Amino acid sequence: MNKKLLSLLVSSLSLYGTTTLLAPASAQAQSGPQKGYVVLPAGDTLRGTVVLGRASRNALTCEFQAADQFAATQYQPTELRGYGTDMLTYESQTVPRIADSVGVATMPVFLETITRGPLTLYALSSDGKERYFLGGYRPGKLVELLQRQKQIQQNGRNYLVKQPLYQDTLARAFQSCPDQAKRVTQYSFQAQQLEKAVRSYNTCAAPELVAKQSAHRGNFGFGVLVGRSVSDMLAMGRNDGSDAQNRSYDGDSYFTVGLSIAFTPGYKGAPFTVHSGVLYERNRSFEEKAVPALMGGENVKLKLSYVVIPAMLRYSIGHGRLRPYAEAGGSARLLAGVSEDEVYFTSSDDKVYPQFTYSLLGGQKTFAFGLGAGAGLELRLPNGQQLSLGLRAEKTSGPSLLYGGSTFTNVNALLGYTFSK
């Protein structure tokens, strides 16, 4: 591939991936369909497909398509008892519109179930903030867990002080388990910490019951990844063409294979995922044959293999089964082997200008790091698994230990299959 074209392609993919990932929150799309169910007011359960979105959207609307229907239906909190998937559960409840207020209007919402047992912890994303509620403490009534922020003045300065009222509420709710009640000050006002506190109490209060944990946060998916390079270029030293160790080389096409790991920081199906894994790049080859002349010509042969550990932040756009994505991140590389590394000098007259050979790299750097970005398409399969096809451009430091080092610039076409997520 033309070097200017390769540089332009790498820059374009990097710019696209970065700008998409840094887009304003209002432009971020929602996630796609998941196998799930809805519970009607009469108690009947319908199974089909639930379209999960952001937590704030899920709290207000349930988009559901029954297994025997061709169109989806939008349900409001007043029209269902609740809905869910294998990894996520929502219940219809009525809560105050404004947190920490008395006598204000209420609103029906779908509350996300964090953990269930003698005490049940719920979460609600509202106006960009997370609110938490405790069920089972006061029969027939939800109690909101609160943390107030108060501004005080001291020595002519203003300070913002947090008042953890939720700890007092938890201590009273945990009275039947004194050890758990004493430890409430250890828990911060975050979903994972509050879940840990409530689950600890539930284990104490009803050890014969297995408290249900909603595993929607922090999901891992595992799969395989195969790819082939579209272009590959190695730039050595000053890259001014003055000699073999200061010029660039176009590489042959090579294959990439490996195992992939996809981590979803939020709920299953959320738009942001972190993609990593272990990949193997076999026999990246660079070769240049010089035309022998009286003064001689330099012939180059380089063949090397890498083990790569990428870390890419990916953002999926839209909420259909087929979704475009953009990604950006970095990679760590381990030089797994060098089967050829030589520059050999040839001429038309060996007696006048004898042949000789030397190392192109001048020593080998084992570890390397780089940056990359990419774009492509994801296909969400009905069974919850996923196919992806995309291009990923990377710029990484190369293996040379000579002054000026070396740099790889490459673009790979990658096909991925996530078989558990």
Q: What is the pLDDT of residues 254-280, one digit of tens each?
A: 999 999 999 877 554 557 789 999 999
The verdict on pTM exceeding 0.85 is: no
Dist. CA 66–CA 348, nearest whole Å = 79
Tell whether the model's pLDDT for residue 70 goes beyond 90: no
Q: Residue 367: phi, psi to the nearest 5?
A: -110, 145
Specify the DSSP class assigned to residue 172: H
Q: What values do phi and psi take at 48, rounded to 5?
A: 175, -130
- Confidence check: pLDDT of 85 > 80: yes
pLDDT, mean of residues 170-175: 94
pLDDT value, residue 4: 53
Confidence of residue 133 (pLDDT cuts 50, 70, 90): very high
pLDDT digits (tens, 9 = 90+) for 341-364: 999 887 666 665 667 788 999 889
* 208, 190 Cβ separation under 8 angstroms: no
pLDDT digits (tens, 9 = 90+) for 211-264: 444 444 557 789 999 999 999 999 999 999 888 899 999 999 999 999 999 987
Residue 26 has pLDDT above 70, yes or no: no
For the domain 3-23+217-420, what is the CATH code? 2.40.160.20
What pLDDT is attached to residue 212? 44
Distance CA 185, CA 247 (A): 63
Is the pLDDT score of 411 beyond 90? Answer: yes
Beta-bridge partners for 376: 325, 390
Average pLDDT over the chain reads 84
Q: Do 36 and 45 form a contact (C-beta atoms < 8 A)?
A: no
| Rounded Cα–Cα distance for residues 262 and 222 (Å) | 6
Q: What is the pLDDT of residues 303-340, one digit of tens each?
A: 999 999 999 999 888 656 788 999 999 999 999 999 99
Q: Which ranges of 1-112 does DSSP label H, i.e. alpha helix? A: 3-21, 55-58
Annotated domain spans of the chain: 3-23+217-420, 32-213
Residue 27's pLDDT band, with cuts at 50, 70 and 90, is very low
